[in-house]
Chain A
Amino acid sequence: MLSIRNLSVFYGDAQALDNVSLDVPAGSITAIVGANGAGKTTLIRTIAGMLSAASGEISYKERIITGLPGHQVCDLGIGQVAEGRQVFPTLTVEENLAMGAMLPRARASRKRNLERVYTMFPRLSERRRQNAGTMSGGEQQMLAIGRCLMGEPELIMFDEPSLGLSPALVSDMLATIGSLSQSGLTCILVEQNVAQSLKLSAYAYVLENGRIVLSGSGAAVLGDDRVRQAYLGL
């Protein structure tokens, strides 16, 4: 579904991604793991068109999308649940959700999608008139996911969705992502909870200092000694 070839990205002189190649097959979860500063967020933002690549190519559904502006990438069906949730704090829950549906692809079915989101997260429905900034971290994370779903994405990129959540909520969150994947959505999952997320994922890539150092099925990567040592402390 998404395929990346030899991607390099710089912040000024500092290289954040170095010749990264990876494939995300449709209908399953692909995990990307790596230490802090490895370049995971950079990868997601480059795919989303928010950062520009120095070299390399990104193609989505057989179409090259490198260099497209962010709003056009989103309109192709590539959604994002960003690191740190990134809600609009002074907008109400409902307004936040509406912003997710500003994409041309999602305008027509906005009403239906809103109902879907509210059914999926009844919490949001209860708080629809509340300002997003006044909600708890877990609620904000629900809102971020709901807002993303409002854009009718076919591919969702999750950047550390469980960051700062209680263990119980983390499980809920991962369960939600699992069920989204079950319903046919393609997912890229960047997670701190390496073990749990690799179990959920069909494929996985390990990113270190901007390079892919290991890849394979979720189970294979989870079984790799280096991964077990570095990320699981075993």
Chain B
Amino acid sequence: MLLELTLAIPVLLAVVAPLAWRRLGAWWPRVASLGALTVFVFLLLMLPDAILGHPQTVTREWMPQLGVTFALRADSFGIFMALIISGIGWGIMSYAGGYLGKDERTGSITGWLLLFMAAMIGVSVADNILMLFVSWEMTSFTSFMLIGTNHRDEESRVGAKQALLVTAIGGLALLGGLVILGRQAGTWNLSEMPAMHDHPFALGAFVLICLGAFTKSAQFPFSFWLPGAMRAPTPVSAYLHSATMVKAGVFLLARMHHVLGELPAWTPTLVITAAATMILVILAVPRATDLKALLAYSTIGALAIMVGLIGIGTDKSMTAMVVFLLAHACYKGPLFLVAGSIDHAVHSRDIRRLGGLAQKMPVTIVTGVIAGLSMVGIPPMLGFIAKEYALGAGMNYAPWVAGLITVLAMAFVLVAANVILIPAFGKKRELASHAHEAPWSMRVPMVVISSLGLILGVSPGLLERYIVGPAVTSLEVTPVHLSLWHGWNLPLLLSTAAVFWGGLAFWKRTALGAFCPALPSGPRIFDAIWNGTVGFGRNVTRILQNGSLTMYLGTIVVVACVLLLSVWIIEAAPIDVDVVRKVPIIDVIIAAVIAVSAVVTALARRRLPAIAALGAMGMGVTLFFLASQAPDLALTQFLVEILSVVILVIGFRHLPDFRITKKRYQIGRVAIAVLVGFTMSVMTLVALSTDYAAPISAWHGDNALTKGHGHNVVNVILVDFRGFDTFGEIIVLGIAALGVGVLVGSLQKLRKHNPEMLSGNTKEPVQ
């Protein structure tokens, strides 16, 4: 029950959000944050069961034929993740209330945030992998809506589009991977899934799942969408694009570790991707000047560390990953909120314009310093423990990994200094003069979340026993012992060196920024691919839909002929020569008449000869019907033909004479026509030479008199056996007659009322 409520509460609140915002006004964000807090408490209540090893589960049939069950399972890692989501969610809701103030979009933004929270909790506690996928896609979608909140701004729309496309492509890949996994494992539930590493399809599933995880967690080469997503309002960036959603990829990889972790490709793929992402971040940070861009890059770097740690996959690295995940949420969330508060106060996020805010905004700055220290990794912060263990695990795997993490840690120092020290203590700028402290609703969440980093840092025993240990255990890995201090060792040395060199880099930041090469911008590459695809589509359409009906028709018949002829050639359908030889002489003469008049019709240069030739052809057809023992047909054809010629002559009086098109095009038309003629001849001959099935005509012949009480079988078929066809035919004729009446009649009316309308080539509507 509690487990379902953790999903139901945010969904229900999200549904009522726009209405509630209008009714409750400023109280609404408080209600929303209270809802998030309730979810947090519920999750805490479920934690003991999970730690003891019998997590709460929910199973409801949804689409059993497809293996989709509404299956939830709150194991320790899931609860760990969901606690972060709802905890930070509480802070974000409260903060958003202050940040957005009376902004009319507050209702929808909080609504989407709540829906996102539900989706993210769904990802965390889903047991059925298809259910996980649905939640996963839901996070992508809500992220799109939230980035595009400011939809009048073009850059917001571009950022939202990029984020959606990248994560949705990843999502599709993920679905493929999950389906492979589920089908091959024979179960759709994560908790029942065996280790699959020696299955032949495991590599394919792994590659697809990696695509999903890397796009979501902004790993190389998909990193570019995350800085673009920073167009979103700051609470959104803090929540989705640093603390929670981007961690979904990491979360998924961690979940997959016990299934695919033994795959030979697992470690190299993840570690190399992580390393490439880290290098990208290291190169990008020195040039960044926007507070949120700086934080976004460091987020990408932190995610890379986690991906790398999962890739290494040892007990120590998995433990380090879980600690890092928690520590990152506890410092990056508040840092974003601090950046948001600064932006809120002075309306700028450019570090070149900020400075001297320490006196004006003491609480914000102190919070920022605490979070920043955790990010830099100064004892006794949680960030310190996380970095120590990450370095240690990296060291055990390969020294170069530890080296890379050290350089990345330097970049983190640079980011922290840029984001906190420059705005707080830098040279006072004019912007600072009207700065003001953020309201309580914004300050409280920042302070609470960032101080968690300190509290958990000084109590590693608590952390190990109730939070990290059980979470790691539920990933089927043995947790290692956590402590704040474990003597003078190499990780500590590297960590100290990183802080020292990072400080030096900050001091010489201008020179460093000039030294770092400008990277080819990810969004620009994305745009090039995007525009290329759209342009290609437009060109294809222009070639295919060139507006010439003749061209369309020609294409259709040529394709049809080529297909038919190729079937004829491939199947080597025989043509019975006897059929051709046995044709009576009278048929040959009639056929010649028909053929000649058809050609004359086609090539006639004037209207009247063409109609006459058509009439002649009709007569030829009539004769042929007569010769083929079909008197009814001959009779009908004869009458229809006379009528046709009459109406054509009447009609043609109103239509202009032929105009001869250029020769050049005519050759093409003749070629197409000859091709069609050849194909049809061949088809007829083939049809004559084969008997696929017994004809059903015999039944009609046998029953016409007994059941239909008529001697003329054709008539009986028309009015009795296939009476409905004839009925339909009458309707068609009726509609055609009506149509003709309307088309011709309305013109006469038009002529009466508006004669000049018809004389010119004008198309203006009639008044």
A, B: real partners: no
Footprint of B on A, CB under 8 Å?
none
Footprint of A on B, CB under 8 Å?
none
